[in-house]
Amino acid sequence: MKIISAILHFTCHPVNVFATKFYAISSDWPGMWSEGIEKMFNTNPLVLNGCCGNINPWPAFVPDFYPDHRKMGNKLAEITQEIISRMIFKKSENLGFVSKKISIPLRSEPEKTARAKEYLEKNPFPVMLKDNPERVDPEWFQAASIMSVEHTRKRGDFIYEIQAFRVGDIAVLGLPGEPFVEGQLEIKIHSPARYTFIAHATNQYVGYIPIKQAFSRGGHEATFCYWSKLIPEALEIIVENSLDMLRELFPGETNK
């Protein structure tokens, strides 16, 4: 049997290289995984990276951990080879596709917006760091990012496009932005498809889409700015609409 192509699915920020060499552009673990499968099966793999908004490749409580994209990609390739050796392939004529655009409001934080506006009125041009003239001051960048949300708000609610595909008993779901992994797990648990592969960061820039509880805890992904601008209920709205679309593609079916 010859494998013509392969869809690979895993969930993790591809930032091993970035953690060791800032500003590096790299295919990271998806590239190494693809390279491994290409060599093993002489095929063309496609990696679908899942909802990794809050999933990083390094453990938070292991001080001597060193990120290694080669090790991670090679291990994924080894596991994939083992899984493929046990897979049963079958023909299927069930193909389908559905796309849906939903409207999601931008969240509003008036106090932060007022402070950002006041700061930029005093500093309309980028403020550079005194000890590093090549870098923009984070305070200026934060203010500019907050005001960019206000410029976006002039266009109305954010139009978010979800795409879903059916290939046999497999569902492939495309979600823009960087949703938190809890949303992906909710979809997979309740999806009517036997297997559900979710790809994040599809089609358009959105930024992080945290769970509602994350906003009370704060942190990078929940900071009000251009990379985190949707209302706290956004992920719940996306999950609900995604499941409706999957039920449309798999009528009367269940993954149980």
Average pLDDT, integer, range 30-34 = 98
pLDDT at residue 51, as a whole number: 99
For residue 21, the model assigns a pLDDT of 79
Q: What is the DSSP letter of 227?
A: T
Q: What is the C-alpha separation between 115 and 13, in angstroms, rounded?
A: 32
CA distance linking residue 53 with residue 219, whole number of Å: 12
**Can you tell me which residue has the tokens 């491994």?**
36
As a whole number, mean pLDDT of residues 147-166 equals: 97
Q: In which band, very low, low, confident or very high, does the pLDDT at 201 lie, cut at 50, 70 and 90?
A: very high
State the pLDDT confidence band at 171, using cuts at 50, 70 and 90: very high
Q: What average pLDDT score do residues 3-31 get?
A: 91
Q: Can you tell me the distance from the alpha carbon of 166 to that of 164, in angstroms, rounded to the nearest whole number?
A: 7
Amino acid at 142: Q
Tell me, what's the pLDDT at 232?
98
Q: How many CB atoms lie within 10 A of CB 79?
A: 12
Instruction: Give residue-wise pLDDT tens across range 43-54.
Output: 999 999 999 999
Mean pLDDT, residues 223-230 taken together:
97
Contact by Cβ (8 Å): 200, 50: yes
Q: Where residue 58 falls among pLDDT bands split at 50, 70, 90?
A: confident
- Average pLDDT, integer, range 5-22: 91
Whole-number pLDDT of residue 22: 75
Quote the pLDDT of residue 23: 77
Q: How many residues does the chain have?
A: 256
